[in-house]
Amino acid sequence: MIHRVWSGLAAVGSALILFAVAAGSPIPVLAALCALAVAEMAWGLWQLRDDGFRAPRAVLGGVALVAALGAVLFGLRILALIPFAALLVLSWGIALAAAVELRAKRTARSDGRSSRSRRSGRAGPLLAALGSGALIVAAITTPALASTDPGALAAPHGASLHDHR
């Protein structure tokens, strides 16, 4: 269960980084990044909503695409080091969860069991997974968002741009 929740949160964090990088990119790059970010956000929310791990093989392909695109954008200096590193960490976390799920399905199939997990009925483990996963993803995503062009142009938190007397 934890790997399913964390992979959904990681996909949402990765999509946010892709949207931020897209906002400061040339039009062709913007279109590609937005399409990829929408797909990743949709999958992440679907993953958080549903009980099972969704499309693990397709997820592995999507992770490879995000990593390759990130490497190209990093090489072209469209993507800074911190957002690139954050995308890689989040993407590899998603890939690890997909690999765990594929392994569990293969093991369950060879043992003749159902690979679909049952709901535990207890909210504690789910809340713990959501809370800890959100903290981890926020700790990775926040510095990456601040290192993008839109993040660099954002007003500092807690500061006022107006003279209030």
pLDDT tens digit string along 27-50? 999 999 999 999 999 999 999 887
Q: Is residue 18 part of a domain?
A: yes
| Domain limits for position 94 | 2-107+128-148
pLDDT digits (tens, 9 = 90+) for 38-93: 999 999 999 988 777 888 999 999 999 999 999 999 999 999 999 999 999 999 99
Instruction: Name the token pair of 102.
Output: 């594929």
Average pLDDT of every residue of the chain: 87
Q: Per-residue b/e over 129-150, b at no fewer than 16 CB within 10 Å?
A: bbeebeebbeebbeebbebbee
**Beta carbons of 25 and 115 less than 8 angstroms apart:** no
Domain count, the chain: 1
Query: Please, which residues have CB within 8 angstroms of residue 52's CB and are 6 or more apart in sequence?
Result: 4, 116, 117
- Is the residue at 15 inside a domain? yes
pTM of the entire predicted model: 0.85
Whether 121 maps to a domain, the answer reads no
Predicted confidence band at 151 (pLDDT cuts at 50, 70, 90)?
confident
DSSP type of residue 113 = -
User: Does residue 54 sit within a domain?
Assistant: yes
Examine residue 162 and state whether it is found in any structural domain, yes or no. no
What is the reported pLDDT for 160? 63
In the block, residue with structure tokens 């929740």:
5
Is 153 inside any structural domain? no
Residue 114 domain flag: no
Q: What is the largest CA-CA distance in the chain?
A: 73
Number of H helices, E strands in the chain: 6, 0
